[in-house]
Amino acid sequence: MEKLVIEGGLPLSGEVKISGSKNAALPILAASLLTDEPVILRNVPILRDTTTMIKLLKSLGKIVEIDGDRVKITSNGKTRHVAEYKLVSTMRGSFCVLGPLLAKLGKAKVSLPGGCVIGIRPVDLHLKGIKALGAKIQIDGGYVISRAKKLKGTHIYLGGVFGSSVLATANVLMAAVLAEGETVIESAACEPEIEDLSNMLRAMGARIRGVGSPRLTITGVKRLRGVSYRVIPDRIEAGTYILIGAATRSDIKLRGADITHLMALTDKLKEVGVKVTAKRDVVKVKCKKNYNPVSITTYPYPGFPTDLQAQFMALMTIVEGVSVITDKVYPDRFIHIAELNRMGANIRREGINAIVQGVKKLKGAQVMASDLRASAALVIAGLAAKGRTEIHRIYHLERGYELLDKKLTALGAKVWRERE
């Protein structure tokens, strides 16, 4: 096991290339199960999570070739219907093979994804949508077992306690594209990752209307063809690097980002005193000397993303004044507070709110990563802090940030890995 070591307090400069979207690539990879024809995907980030999904596709009978960020998926026509626990349990996103397996084969046996460190994330909306399409479902031995001679279109409401679900929308959408008749999904997730999946499915021959809206209308087709498709840039990686620039008071550039996916973040950063501009796919971050404290509340897209909550909090720890961070998507997503406080931050939690009293400077310390985005927050804090920070359990970072240490080094950061 390795740890990440950061010598903080250095200004950064230069340009960083943004990778393809992890959260878009996972359901898009799963969508290859809907056809026996070749699927070629470009701009796929090679991460722990995407590698897990590729292993799962192989275990289901697909042939997968990787060449840089290009992934080619072919089939020998013998797709298995069982997604094993040892793979699904390591990554929640792999549960989205349920919909395409059921639609293509008429049966699926998929392990439940298990617990999650950021709180309870049930699969009830997934099962609600799949049942509505006519599938019979039972849970036995930790597996969801579903069968349907033929899925049939219907009207489905997928709203949950904390809004729409991206993964449930993806699962039900992929099942519906081969269902008989018309399916309407109400309260569908509007995230760019769902729009990307929809565009890929349409390129395969699916008939989907209302893409990008909370109402998706799908007219089922008999079969889908192969496709060559490019995955969108990772908006969360881009947002993380923008916040790295802001926290280190550094003017940096991002290449390959789509700023239109980050309007909630850039709007808040404007209030802070950070100017973010874009020309084509190049984003520039320009920082002022003095910042203003700003409060945020996370919501489903196009609201402020929960996946940038921890990183934004890391920035607010060094902005004098009081900021309130509220997470209405995952109210338990505050494990990083204790680790930021170890570095000299002044944060207290009150229910779904974190009250941040900004300090002048953070100090390097030994900290422990608890999940993917909390890890990114600790990286931001370490880069802004004075002295040496050691981040343990960095396998979390490897789930969602491609070549992080190399990209940071190219910006002038003193970052390296050491064996534990």
Say if residues 218 and 183 touch (Cβ distance below 8 Å): yes
Strand arrangement of the beta sheet that strand 82-83 belongs to: 82-83, 107-111, 143-147, 136-140
Active-site hit among 96, 116, 190, 287: 116
CB–CB of 263/277 below 8 Å?
Answer: no
Residue 416 near residue 5 (C-beta atoms within 8 A): yes
DSSP letter, residue 19: -
Torsion angle (degrees, nearest 10) of CA 252, 19, 120, 130: 140
Token pair recorded at residue 147:
């069968």
Residues 6 or more apart whose CB falls under 8 angstroms from that of 278 comprise 257, 259, 284
Rounded-to-integer distance, Cα 352 and Cα 119, Å: 12
Cβ-contact 348, 382 below 8 angstroms: no
Contact 121, 92 (CB under 8 A): yes
Does the annotation count 116 as an active-site position? yes
- Please state, in angstroms and rounded to a whole number, the distance separating the CA atoms of residues 261 and 72: 27
Cα 329 from Cα 296, distance rounded (Å): 12
The answer to whether the beta carbons of residues 28 and 49 sit under 8 Å apart is no
Rounded to an integer, what distance in angstroms lies between the CA atom of residue 54 and that of residue 389? 33
- Is residue 323 within 8 A of residue 295, CB to CB? The reply is yes
- Which residues have a catalytic role annotated? 116
